Amino acid sequence: MIFTVYYVAALVLAVAEARGLLRARRPETPPWPGLTWIVALVVTYAAQIALCEAIGTRGSWPMAVVQWQPGAAPIVAAFLALALAQSYALLGLYRSGAKTAAVVCGAALMAAFSFAPVLTNADVYAYVGNGLLGRAAYAPPAIPFPGELSAINAFWHVPVPAATYGPLWLAVARAVIALAPTLALKMTAFRVLGVALMAALFALLRGYGVPPRIVAIVALNPALYFEFVLNAHNDLLPVVIVTIAALTAPSWPLVASLLVATAALVKIPFALVGLPVLAVIHKREPRVAAVFVAIFAAAVVSWFAGGPAYFSALLTYASGSHLEGAVHAVAALAALAAIAFAIAGAPRLRTAVWLMPMLGAYTAPWYALWSMPYALGARRVLVYLAIWLPFVTFLAEPALTRVWTLAGVLPAVVILALGLSRTRQSLQRGPS
């Protein structure tokens, strides 16, 4: 039931924008130099890491994990306040711009802070298990990992859940942990991968022609470091692959199509959420063909490389999730519609970025990055996603979710967005 609030919020915002009830509104920001905004972003991110370390649950495992606990309302409120300040600072940075050296230094500091021995999600423990088991991760044996590796079972039990990631991810995970002798170093290796992927994303965005001030609010985005370096979620890998597809699509449609399929071999939803980058293929017939090739190749290679066990794991995962919920189904259909319109070349909705995570079996804040392929097609959408990502990420962070954030803060944000739009429209029309 808790996910229903997210589905409804995303649907309301998207429908409101589609009906012309939302307008681009950004608050005023002081004309501070870019360095000031960068310092604010780095300091607030460091504060969030410090809060995580203060409330993380420590045990025999190498990295503490922030688990849901009652009575932490002040800390949750502090996280949200810091996240809102980060979104505001990103807006200020977008308007002021910054020198490349300052952006690189700020990004390096955020990356360094992200190696703190704390997590808000135990997925990276599962990733180590993925690498150790290989294809056996699709049907894990009921045997605990030995020695210090038993920390994986402390979070994921015995047997660990069947992997729902594609066969390419299992190969990557095995390669990442291959040279790391201890569990702590194996987990750290995934963070190193996250830093490398972040750097690749920045370079690819510049190659794609994204203006430096937009690249800056991506490169200095605390939510990206929090989810994809600190917590080392693997969604950044398919996003980088799809961004390469966006670069190649105008000249080599087939290559771009196969790259989208490759991204789906990390996480299967990218067979759909990666498709909007193919919209830059000018002729309709090659574009439609590229879409079908991407989906077909992803399905065929997943079947032969992952085998029946992989598809059984996906089906079990989906059937045991919230995907059967009616509101979730409507949100997923809305996401598919947004993807279809984007492929057809229709104008893209800013708020459709919050629909893309609904194509998962459940939603999670790190799934917001699934919207990057959609956002790449319109700079205003990319700016909107980057600016609001910190606040949305921390508002939806499972370890920080509370009844009052779901029933109070999230609905208030949606109502405020709608209310401000009506107020602005009334002021523009004047008295009747």
379-399 per-position pLDDT tens digit = 999 999 999 999 999 999 998
Quick one: tokens of 228?
């994809």
118's enclosing H/E stretch is strand 118-119
Chain center to CA of 200: 16
Rounded Cα distance, 401 and 90, in Å: 24
pLDDT of residue 24: 66
Residues in the chain: 432
pLDDT of residue 320: 60
Give the model confidence (pLDDT) of 206-236 as tens digits: 999 999 999 999 999 999 999 999 999 999 9
261's enclosing H/E stretch is helix 253-264
Mean pLDDT of the chain: 93
Cα–Cα distances in angstroms (integers) from residue 232 to residues 246, 249, 274, 285, 360, in the given order: 24, 28, 21, 39, 19
Cis peptide before 159 (omega within 30 of 0): yes
| pLDDT > 60? residue 88 | yes
Rounded Cα distance, 93 and 176, in Å: 34
Quick one: tokens of 189?
């290796």
Quick one: tokens of 247?
């670069």
| All residues at 6 or more sequence positions from 160 whose CB lies less than 8 Å from its CB, including other chains | 126, 129, 133, 137, 140, 152, 153
pLDDT of residue 318: 79
Rounded Cα distance, 262 and 43, in Å: 37
Rounded Cα distance, 138 and 130, in Å: 9
Quick one: tokens of 66?
């922030």
Of 191, 128, 151, 186, the C-alpha closest to 58 is: 151
Rounded Cα distance, 5 and 13, in Å: 12
DSSP 137: G
Q: Which of 23-37, 55-69, 109-123, 262-276 has the lowest mean pLDDT?
A: 55-69
The model carries a pTM of 0.95
Q: Which of 229-238, 244-253, 421-430 has the lowest mean pLDDT?
A: 421-430
Give the model confidence (pLDDT) of 335-352 as tens digits: 999 999 999 999 999 999
Q: What is the DSSP string of 372-392?
A: HHHHTT-HHHHHHHHHHHHHH
Q: Is pLDDT larger for residue 1 or for residue 408?
A: 408
Q: What is the DSSP string of 309-345?
A: HHHHHHHHHHHTTTTT-HHHHHHHHHHHHHHHHHHTT
| pLDDT > 90? residue 58 | no
Quick one: tokens of 146?
């030995």
Q: Is pLDDT larger for residue 69 or for residue 104?
A: 104
